[in-house]
Structure 1
Amino acid sequence: MTAHTLGRGWRLFAILVLGFASGLPLALTGQAMQAWLTVDGVDIATIGFFGLVGVPYTFKFLWAPLMDRFEPPLLGRRRGWLVVTQLALAALLWWMGSLSPSAAPELFAIAALLVAFLSASQDVVVDAYRTDLLPEEERGLGASVHVFAYRLAMITSGGIALIWAGQWQSWPRVYHSMAAIMLGCAVLSLLTLPRVASHLRALDSDPARELRGFVAMLAGLAVGYLAAHHLLKLAGLDPDDPNRWIQLLFVLMEIAAALPLAYLAARRAGFETLNRSLSSYFAQRGAAAFLALIILYKLGDAFAGSLTTPFLIKGMGFSQEEVGIANKVIGLWLTILGAFIGGLIMTRLALYRSLLLFGVLQLVSNFGFYLLAELGRGAWGAVDLPAFDWGIVALDRPTQLDGLLLTVIAGENISGGMGTVAFIALLMALCNQRFTATHYALLSAFAAVGRIYVSPLSGVLSASIGWPSFFLFSIVVAVPGVAMVWLQRDALAALGRPAVPAGADD
């Protein structure tokens, strides 16, 4: 075995570890957390608002330049930030598992928000580390390994977590187990990850001025938030109004006011790494239209998927184990299959045609949830699943999985995986190599807008109009994303056909 082969194996092992660590926290502040809230008796509208704990995924480009610019001592710039974020994630997941969402909802929400912040920060470093570590000829294979590990982690923290919760009758024990797994990832990162070369920073800027600019940006966020909050109160509105639409208005207006002021403050105070990277992105033709496309393309998927777990458990009456097996274990493997199929198709189709085709398939797949809500469980019979014991997860007795549920999950996950491949290819094509970490963080943050901000609206909407109408609405909101692809067809064609891995991270 040659030194080159050994080196490649070491690098791919590093990508495997980091892909798993990156995917593990997502469901723990998303679908798994929703299941815990549901069985703990939290109402559906409040569960929808808990989706806002994922807000850091949409803002991570604001602090990504700091992680690009500064280096923790001793461990190196990339590896240092990885170990720090993973150790902190392990500690926070343990703390979150010690709380009760029904007895202390505010404290539980703060813990979940901190987990999401650190998870988003880890994602920034993982993306940058993967780019720095892999030579050009290994990036396709490395991306595929990352996708596999990322989805495997989502199966662990999503599907297996639900099965454990049903068997152990203890969500705290599940979260403590996930904290131990994250601690293991931190140890592996510390002891086994290869160092990367100390590449030139995005800018050779004054560190003190960068920090002042970052603090000024945070001050701008706070001023914008408080200004919008108090203006709405002066208008006679109450942030604690039992009307969920009023609560949602406060959230959206506070964010709409905070972001522009944060940008202006960063610009005036000299947060140069952020300022130059944003200027670099917006200098390209059609930059704003591409951001609109990024937000809209997955919007229908985000609506349909935002409350899937509460819908299946509370709305349809499926057990936690059945949802865990069908939606989280089988479903995520089908997403990997969809990503693989999408990657093969994209070797034949250009980026524009792939985005259009997969966008239509995503739209059509949402109709399956409408059928499930209308026809109910048992409409298409059931599939027998024998007992099994895989060591980390077991089913102690044979059970039946609903036939319509499996069909809907298959359609949604395969089409979603295909759409994600084309979507990530678009993000890759839009990145300027000089500012890869910050650009990717910016674009992926915009990509998370739909997934995060539709959650409170989804909770209010589903409670107001019922599940069948809600899923029909998810089909309607998917149309603008497909239309935007068609309107941007010339600009998408001009991006060329970048290399696409057989999968994508969410």
Structure 2
Amino acid sequence: MTAHTLGRGWRLFAILVLGFASGLPLALTGQAMQAWLTIDGVDLATIGFFGLVGVPYTFKFLWAPLMDRFEPPLLGRRRGWLVITQFALAALLWWMSTLSPIGTPVLFAAAAVLIAFLSASQDVVVDAYRTDLLPDEERGLGASIHVFAYRLAMILSGGIALIWAGQWASWPRVYQTMSFIMLGCAVVSLLALPRVSAALKPLDSDPKRELVGFVAMLAGVVAGYFIARQTLILFGLDPDDANRWIQLLFILAEIAVALPLAAWAAKRAGFETLNRSLSSYFDQRGAAAFLALIILYKLGDAFAGSLTTPFLIKGMGFSQEEVGIANKVIGLWLTILGAFIGGLIMMRLALYRSLLLFGVLQLVSNFGFYLLAQLGKGAWGAVDVPAFDWVIVSLADPATLDWLLLTVIAGENISGGMGTVAFVALLMSLCNQRFTATHYAMLSAFAAVGRIYVSPLSGVLSQSIGWPAFFLFSIVVAVPGVVMVWWLREAIHRLGRPQPVTEVDD
């Protein structure tokens, strides 16, 4: 075996481990956490508001320039940040396992937010490390390995975790197990990851001014939060009002004021890495319209999927094990299949036609959840699943899976996987190679807006109008994304044919 082959194998092994580490925490502050909250008896509207713990995924581009600019000692810029974030994630997952959603809700939410922040930070570094480490001829294979490992981790933390929770009757034990798995990834990053090229130095800018600019940006966020909050209070509204719509109004107003104020403060204080990166994107033709498309394209999917676990467990009466097998294990494999099919289709179709076709399929797939809400559990019968033991997960007794549930999950995940392929190809096409890390972080952050911010609205809506009407609403909100694709067809054509894709938060 040649040194070249060994080096290639080492690099791809690193991508495999990092893809897995990147995908593991997402469900632990999303669908798995929703299941824990549901089983512990937290009300549906509150579960919806817990979706906001994923807010850091939408803001990661704000601190991504710092991770580009500064280098932790001894381990190097990329590997150093990876080791720091992964060890911290392992510790926080263990801490979260000691908390109770009912007994200590504030601490529980704080732990979840910190995990999401570190997970988003890890994603920024993983994307940059993969780009820095792999030579051009290995990037296609490396991207495929990353997608596979990322989805495999989501099957573990989002599907198998539900099965473990049902078998062990203990969500804390599940999170402790995930903590040890993340610790193992951190040890591999510390001891086995290859270093990136020494020629890839941090950006050339004044470090003190970068830090001052970052602090000013944070001050803008805090100031915007308090300005919006106090303004609404002056109008006689109460942030602690029992009315969930008023609570949602406070959250949206605080974000709407904080973001522009943060951008203004960063520009005034000279946060150069961020400022130059943002300027290079917004100088492009149609930059704002593309941001609108990025937010809207997956919005219908975000609404339909935001409360899927509570809907299936509490609304439809499925068991945790049945949801774990159907929605998480089988569903995520179907997402991978959808991505593969989407990739094959995109070899023949241009980016515009792929976005349009897959967007329509995503819209239609939401009708399946409406059908399930209307017809109910058992409407199409069930299929028997024999007992199995796959070492990491087992089913002690034979079980049944609902045919309608399986059909709905299949349609939603296959179409969602196809849509993700075209969507990520769009994001990559919009990146300026000079600022790839920060641009990709910014665009993927906007892509996460729907997934994060529809959650509180979803909880309120589902309680107010019922599940069938809620899923019809998810179909309606999917329409603007498809219309935006058609409206921007000429601009999308100009982007050219897509490059090989890498993973994003959907």
| Structure 2 residue 52 is the aligned partner of structure 1 residue 52 | yes
Q: Which residue of 2 aligns with 1:315?
A: 315
Amino acid at match of 1:12: L
Q: Distance in 2 between matches of 1:64 and 1:320?
A: 37
For the residue of structure 2 that corresponds to 1:285, the secondary structure is coil
Deviations 1:180-225, CA, capped at 9 Å, x for gaps = 0000000011111110014555741100000000000000000000
For the residue of structure 1 that corresponds to 2:34, the secondary structure is helix
Offset at residue 499 of structure 1 (A): 2.1
Deviations 1:441-473, CA, capped at 9 Å, x for gaps = 000000000000000000000000000000000
Q: Which residue of 1 aligns with 2:276?
A: 276
Asked if structure 2 preserves the Cα contact closer than 8 Å seen for 1:82 and 1:189, the reply is yes
Q: Which residue of 1 aligns with 2:171?
A: 171
Q: Distance in 2 between matches of 1:313 and 1:483?
A: 34
Gaps of 5+ in 2: none
Q: Distance in 1 between matches of 2:284 and 2:504?
A: 25
Amino acid at match of 2:91: A
Q: Which residue of 2 aligns with 1:219?
A: 219
| Structure 2 residue 137 is the aligned partner of structure 1 residue 137 | yes
For the residue of structure 1 that corresponds to 2:401, the secondary structure is strand
Offset at residue 117 of structure 1 (A): 0.3
Asked if structure 1 preserves the Cα contact closer than 8 Å seen for 2:448 and 2:505, the reply is no
Q: Distance in 2 between matches of 1:60 and 1:220?
A: 16
Amino acid at match of 1:144: S
Asked if structure 2 preserves the Cα contact closer than 8 Å seen for 1:340 and 1:503, the reply is no
Q: Which residue of 1 aligns with 2:204?
A: 204
Offset at residue 484 of structure 1 (A): 0.3
For the residue of structure 2 that corresponds to 1:63, the secondary structure is helix
Q: Distance in 2 between matches of 1:431 and 1:9?
A: 28
Offset at residue 138 of structure 1 (A): 1.2
Amino acid at match of 1:28: L
Question: Could you say what the CA RMSD is over the residues aligned between the two structures, in angstroms?
Answer: 1.0
Offset at residue 398 of structure 1 (A): 0.4
Offset at residue 136 of structure 1 (A): 1.2
Pairs within 5 Å for 1:349-364: 349-364=349-364
Q: Which residue of 2 aligns with 1:288?
A: 288
| Structure 2 residue 334 is the aligned partner of structure 1 residue 302 | no
Q: Distance in 2 between matches of 1:342 and 1:33?
A: 30
Asked if structure 1 preserves the Cα contact closer than 8 Å seen for 2:424 and 2:501, the reply is no
Q: Which residue of 2 aligns with 1:15?
A: 15
Between 3-12 and 126-135, report the one with greater CA deviation. 3-12
Alignment CA distance shift 1:174-1:495 (3 Å): same
Pairs within 5 Å for 1:424-435: 424-435=424-435
Offset at residue 487 of structure 1 (A): 0.4
Q: Distance in 2 between matches of 1:394 and 1:376?
A: 28
Q: Distance in 2 between matches of 1:184 and 1:503?
A: 22
For the residue of structure 1 that corresponds to 2:383, the secondary structure is strand
| Structure 2 residue 284 is the aligned partner of structure 1 residue 267 | no
The TM-score, its normalising length taken from structure 2, stands at: 0.99
Once the two structures are aligned, what percentage of the paired residues are identical?
Answer: 85
Q: Distance in 1 between matches of 2:393 and 2:496?
A: 44
For the residue of structure 1 that corresponds to 2:93, the secondary structure is helix
The TM-score, its normalising length taken from structure 1, stands at: 0.99
Pairs within 5 Å for 1:98-137: 98-137=98-137
Offset at residue 2 of structure 1 (A): 2.5
Offset at residue 361 of structure 1 (A): 0.4
Q: Distance in 2 between matches of 1:199 and 1:464?
A: 57
Offset at residue 228 of structure 1 (A): 0.2
Moved over 3 A (4+): 198-203, 501-506
Q: Which residue of 1 aligns with 2:397?
A: 397
Q: Which residue of 2 aligns with 1:344?
A: 344
How many corresponding residue pairs? Answer: 506
Q: Distance in 1 between matches of 2:12 and 2:423?
A: 23
Q: Distance in 1 between matches of 2:476 and 2:164?
A: 36
Asked if structure 1 preserves the Cα contact closer than 8 Å seen for 2:225 and 2:257, the reply is yes
Q: Which residue of 2 aligns with 1:62?
A: 62
Asked if structure 2 preserves the Cα contact closer than 8 Å seen for 1:300 and 1:363, the reply is yes
Offset at residue 9 of structure 1 (A): 1.2
Asked if structure 1 preserves the Cα contact closer than 8 Å seen for 2:424 and 2:502, the reply is no
| Structure 2 residue 74 is the aligned partner of structure 1 residue 74 | yes
Q: Distance in 2 between matches of 1:20 and 1:477?
A: 32
Alignment CA distance shift 1:236-1:75 (3 Å): same
| Structure 2 residue 500 is the aligned partner of structure 1 residue 500 | yes
Alignment CA distance shift 1:29-1:187 (3 Å): same
Asked if structure 1 preserves the Cα contact closer than 8 Å seen for 2:366 and 2:475, the reply is yes
Q: Distance in 2 between matches of 1:229 and 1:504?
A: 32
Deviations 1:230-271, CA, capped at 9 Å, x for gaps = 000000000000000000000000000000000000000000
Offset at residue 503 of structure 1 (A): 7.0
Alignment CA distance shift 1:9-1:313 (3 Å): same
Deviations 1:404-424, CA, capped at 9 Å, x for gaps = 000000000000000000010
Asked if structure 2 preserves the Cα contact closer than 8 Å seen for 1:367 and 1:471, the reply is yes
Amino acid at match of 2:438: T
Asked if structure 1 preserves the Cα contact closer than 8 Å seen for 2:91 and 2:179, the reply is yes
Deviations 1:95-115, CA, capped at 9 Å, x for gaps = 001000011111100000000
Amino acid at match of 2:291: L
Q: Which residue of 1 aligns with 2:415?
A: 415
Amino acid at match of 2:359: G
Offset at residue 501 of structure 1 (A): 4.1
Q: Which residue of 1 aligns with 2:31?
A: 31
Q: Which residue of 2 aligns with 1:468?
A: 468
Offset at residue 476 of structure 1 (A): 0.2
Amino acid at match of 1:54: G
Offset at residue 31 of structure 1 (A): 0.2
